[in-house]
Amino acid sequence: MFHFIELEEKQLRQLSDAQAAWRNLLQARKDAGEVRGSMKWKTVDGRTYLVRVSPRGAETSLGPQDERTQAIYEGFHARKGPAEARLKAMKATLDEHRRLNRAFRVGRTPAVVVRSLAAIDDAGLSDQFLTVGTHALYAYETAAGVRVEPGAVATQDLDLLFEAGKLRTYTSRMARSDARSLIAVLRKADPTFRVKRAQLQTAVNDAGFEIDIIRRRATGADPHPLRMSDDEDDFWAVQVDQGEKLASSRRFEHLVVAANGEMALMRTLHPLDFIRLKQDLAQRPGRDPLKAPKDRLQAQVVRQLWDNFLQHVVRPEAS
């Protein structure tokens, strides 16, 4: 049996409030995103058209001026101001919750992990990646309202599974991003990240923390090898044996909080799938003898978290 340190009532209350503020921010961001850019009337060859202008200045005609486009124009401007004001207010509210998270010591997820996940989310890419491995335990312990033993979460690398089946969506979103490459996205979290020349699937920062981009083994139309953008300095996703099992696993999402109060949403494996995959890894012939004991430890820790806490708040069926 493992001993978990349960969060105090005031910490749990603050965590709950921070989660609510986060959900409100996501909705406000979605609403504001629907009215990004502008709309204007433009006359061409004597006819007036309604034009949607993207934040980058690209123009798309929505049709000639008539009752339909007039309604679109008026509706857009009626929503734009309030949506942007609400987003600004929600950001201010979240800033206050970051301060309270820090004051109440709500979280302990490494700040570099939280910032990296937040940068990926800000780029619109969060549903393209899955946090796998050790760092998933931070999502599980936060959902359970406890702290697990430090040995179970000790690591200096973050494994992100790229969902290769969503490559077309990823490529489209990356093309619209101001970063234009995955390594540029992560440099918004930490400007010292650079891809290792000898391990093109890995980026390392000046503190020695690493981020690995992994993928399932190429099947069907999957491209291979796979560079994450046209940028020559970007990652090349590496195939892993368990990639298909990871990609097909059930999903679990939860807010994670750093010691400095910063927050991000972590998408990871359902706890029951994490247990199964870790047990499989620990028993696999040829598994690194230095890693197998930690695989077993993590499987046992998450099993106890599930039995004692998570089964009451997480659905066991596929999500």
Non-local CB neighbours of 251 within 8 Å, separated by 6+ positions:
130, 267, 268, 269, 270, 319
CB 63 within 8 Å of CB 49: yes
Identify which of 75, 87, 121, 69 has the alpha carbon closest to the alpha carbon of residue 262.
Answer: 121
pLDDT of residue 240: 93
Its pTM stands at 0.91
Q: Comparing 6-10, 65-69, 161-165, which segment has the lowest mean pLDDT? A: 161-165
pLDDT of residue 318: 46
Work out whether the CA dihedral 241, 159, 185, 198 comes out positive or negative.
negative
Per-chain mean pLDDT for the chain = 94
Q: What distances in angstroms separate CA 109 from CA 116, 138, 155, 255, one per listed residue?
A: 12, 6, 11, 10
Quick: pLDDT tens for 74-115.
999 999 999 999 999 999 999 999 999 999 999 999 999 999
What CATH number is given for 107-312 in this structure? 3.30.460
**Every domain of the chain and the residues it spans:** 1-105, 107-312
pLDDT of residue 151: 87
| pLDDT of residue 241 exceeding 60 | yes
CA–CA separation, 211 and 156 (whole Å) = 9
Q: Comparing 44-48, 63-67, 220-224, 279-283, which segment has the lowest mean pLDDT? A: 220-224
Quick: pLDDT tens for 192-208.
999 999 999 999 999 99
How far is the first Cα of the chain from the last one, in angstroms, to the nearest whole number? 29
